[in-house]
Amino acid sequence: MTTTGFRHNHYVPRWYQERFLPADRQQRELFCLDKTERSVRDSRGHRRTLPPVSREPLKKCFAQEDLYTLWFGGIPLTDLERRFFGELDSKGREAVVYWGDYAFQSIDDDAVLKLLTFMSTQKLRTPKGLDWLAARLGTRDPTTVLAGVAQFRMIFNALWTECVWQIADASASPTKFIVSDHPVTVYNRVYPPRHPPCQRSGDPDIHLNGTHTIFPLSLDKVLILTNLSWAINPYGSPAKERPHPIYEHDTFFDFTDIQLGRKLDEQEVRAINLIIKSRAYRYFAAAEEDWLYPERYLPKGKWSRLGGPYLLMPDPRSLHHGGEVGIGYEDGSTSAFDAYGRTPLHPDYGRESLPPAGRDPLMRFKGEFARMFGPVRRGWRHFDESGVDTDEHHEYHLSLDARGSRKRRGRKRD
């Protein structure tokens, strides 16, 4: 079946772009910056360089003709856009709205899976993600690569599930978040943009100890995911693999460990925008043109010190060693995981439960954090706010299978 209306493919959905415009803005347009130099010939035949920034309607932003179209005997097939990405974007929109407004009041199991799957697929579906996937599949054949997007759409789910989740707020900052052509971006302090593995479609792998995943949810909200191993010991190697760095494995998610309440100042927002800009493939956009140039307002320095030493770090005072959990389900079955998704049959199960011999890096980090930011926590979990770790809260564990797709809500077993 052919449908010509589905051949203009947005690799960053229009509904997502809308979240980066003020609600009262009548003109639904973004200032878009093209990182490549463009030029045209004028009427006299002279080459004229085009300005890097243009104001574009959302219909034209982050879109490409026939990016997801497959061809059979010269006939365009648009099933991938109509069915696969159509359903993905519908569920993804619900999840992004939910997490953009998340405030501990409600627990929605579906919102976890919908967000993880949307983010994982979104990371693959952009031109940068498709080039990355093609390199790993060893082929540029579009049919094979697009089939890979569908096959590996949940590849990052498990590792992100086991991260420390932090939702930070930029509402107090005059500068807001920008959006790029690769909106699920990453930062690792030892991999600056010009590092050879980070050229073109390259990025630091998310299973590396010190890699943070950054996903803006709107003008004012950003989700920051930090590997637990890095959050409890930022003194090790950021380039070392985190424990159990397997992309697809059984794991669980605990709603009560999410950190909220962090208020970002303007320089912190600009630093995050610079990361987003630096990792963009070609295009990025903002509601205000000035926001496209965060480097103008940030002190020049090393990539490793961008925005200060702990720009993206969650507050370690909410963290602890251990993390093993046993879960009982309504059907009478049980399961158990450690903080890195390993089960009791794994030889390294619970290996990180106890502090290492000698000085505990987590306690050291907590002390350093308190001296740097003061006694008031920069972000807090539900328990930190309520002060009570009730048995009712133990129900908020969601177990996922190796593809990150099975939803089973259980009750924690002591």
Sequential DSSP letters for 306-318: TTSTTTTPPPGGG
pLDDT of residue 82: 82
Going from the C-alpha of 230 to that of each of 156, 185, 211, 244, the distances in angstroms are 18, 18, 8, 13
Going from the C-alpha of 116 to that of each of 28, 236, 400, the distances in angstroms are 28, 28, 11
pTM, to two decimals:
0.92
Burial of 4 (0-12, 13-18, 19+ CB in 10 A): exposed
Query: Residue 366, SS3?
Result: helix
- CA 380/CA 383 separation, integer angstroms: 8
Query: Residue 115, SS3?
Result: helix
Residue 322 has pLDDT above 80, yes or no: yes
More confident residue, 172 or 68: 172
Q: What is the mean pLDDT of the chain?
A: 88
- CA 108/CA 148 separation, integer angstroms: 29
- CA 249/CA 269 separation, integer angstroms: 34
Rounded to 10°, the helix 109-125/86-100 angle is 120
- CA 361/CA 228 separation, integer angstroms: 13
**Alpha-helical regions (H) of 165-239:** 228-231
Rounded to 10°, the helix 142-151/109-125 angle is 160
Bridge partners, 41 (sequence order): 47
Tell me phi and psi for residue 223, to 5 degrees: -95, 125
81 in Cβ contact with 150 (< 8 Å)? no
Residue 90 has pLDDT above 80, yes or no: yes
Query: Cα 297–301–307 angle (5° rounding)?
Result: 60
pLDDT tens profile 393-413: 444 556 666 555 555 555 555
- Residue among 126, 62, 118, 58 nearest 92 (CA): 118
- CA 1/CA 39 separation, integer angstroms: 39
What is the residue type of 49? T
Tell which phi-psi region holds residue 145, choosing left (phi > 0), alpha (psi between -120 and 50) or beta: alpha
pLDDT tens profile 196-247: 889 889 999 999 999 999 999 999 999 999 999 999 999 999 999 999 999 9
Residue 179 has pLDDT above 60, yes or no: yes
Range 115-133 average pLDDT: 97
